[in-house]
Amino acid sequence: MTGTNAGDPDGYVDIAVVGAGPSGLYAAYYAGFRGLSCAVVDALDEPGGQVAALYPEKPIHDVAGLPGVKGRELVAALVAQAEPFGPRYLLGHTATTLTPRGTGWTIGTDRGRQVHAGAVVIAAGLGRFVPRRLPCAVPYEGRGVAYHVPDPAAHRDKDVVVVGGGDSAVDWALTLAPLARTTTLVHRRGTFRAHAHSVKQLLDSPVRVLTDARVTACHGTTRLAEVEITQEAGTLRLPAQELVAALGFSAALGPLADWGAALEDGLFRADPATRETSLPGVYAVGDGSTHPGRVPLISVGFGEAATAVNHAAVALRPGSRLAPAHSTDPDAAGGGTARTWS
């Protein structure tokens, strides 16, 4: 069962999902399962939302049926689950505009693409992530300096410096230490904000921990080679081919806030029964949506995504049933190939 408009040269899909976090990826699966074509737009270059960007190596314990699944594994499983239905991924595109088009909508992106859709599911979390930058490291971004770690194996046998004092910084240091030649954690304060258990692990690990310390300069010709670290006692230079600035991310709805859907505390207000926003055919799910009694968790976002897509399915195909066939029914499984738009 594939979406009737999946190959439309006009770029029309039944459902456009904004955000490829867990809620958006599950919405993409659900659209396919309901026989609807789907496009997923995300500002990041990889799917997974907060899970991929902030904690891909952390085990997540409260996703139903997957005890202790690593963030990275959960995202890969969500992508694989949707893949047979061939959702189109438009990664590295920020959705900026929403305009009515017939009975549906057109989403415009910051890179000039348009997605025409019968319905829109906003699964944008708290908005587009922007990393907090380490000013002296900016010239080496992409040349040894990164804000998260998409591939820990790339740090094998390297001298790694992690900067920060929260959970991400401590987790990255612990994840990379077994792979790296040396791992140094630099934190500007004397105490960590991270989980106490993780801090204990850190202090028991081979990671060199420098507190009340700042990275004050980066050196290297084509790539990062050394960092300068300043403490009260003086300055030291360390070899560093990789620096992870885990200083946190800020998130902002940005242009989505001007789409005309009613907001409450910066979140899209959604009907709890249907997930529809104040705009007809525009649904909101996951962390970026709200209703009385909201619980922002991955597992809740999954349910909201299924609810939104089932209601969109009825709106797009009047006469179709709200409750889908069981996924165990062999006729309910679809086909197709995932595609990425550039």
The contact set with ligand FAD (CB under 6 A) reads 18-24, 41-44, 49-51, 54-55, 60, 62, 94-95, 123-125, 127-129, 167, 254, 256, 286-288, 296-299, 301
Are the C-beta atoms of 170 and 191 separated by less than 8 Å?
no
Shortest reach from residue 253's CB to ligand FAD, in Å: 7
Q: Strand ranges (DSSP E) for 177-274?
A: 182-186, 208-210, 214-219, 226-231, 234-239, 242-245, 249-252, 263-264, 267-269
Q: Which is nearer to ligand FAD, 109 or 183 (CB)?
A: 109
Nearest Cα residue to 201 out of 178, 226, 181, 224: 178
The Cβ of residue 1 has, within 10 Å, a number of other Cβ atoms equal to 16
Shortest reach from residue 184's CB to ligand FAD, in Å: 22
Shortest reach from residue 65's CB to ligand FAD, in Å: 13
| Residue partners of 223: CB distance under 8 A and separation at least 6 | 140, 143, 144, 241
Shortest reach from residue 119's CB to ligand FAD, in Å: 17
Residue 166: φ, ψ to 5°: -100, -170
Q: Which is nearer to ligand FAD, 110 or 212 (CB)?
A: 110
Q: Which is nearer to ligand FAD, 50 or 307 (CB)?
A: 50
Q: Which is nearer to ligand FAD, 134 or 270 (CB)?
A: 270
Specify the DSSP element, H or E, that contains 170.
Answer: helix 167-176
- Separation between Cα atoms, residue 86 and residue 182, nearest integer Å: 42
Shortest reach from residue 23's CB to ligand FAD, in Å: 3
Pair of tokens at residue 281: 């055919």
Q: Which is nearer to ligand FAD, 35 or 288 (CB)?
A: 288
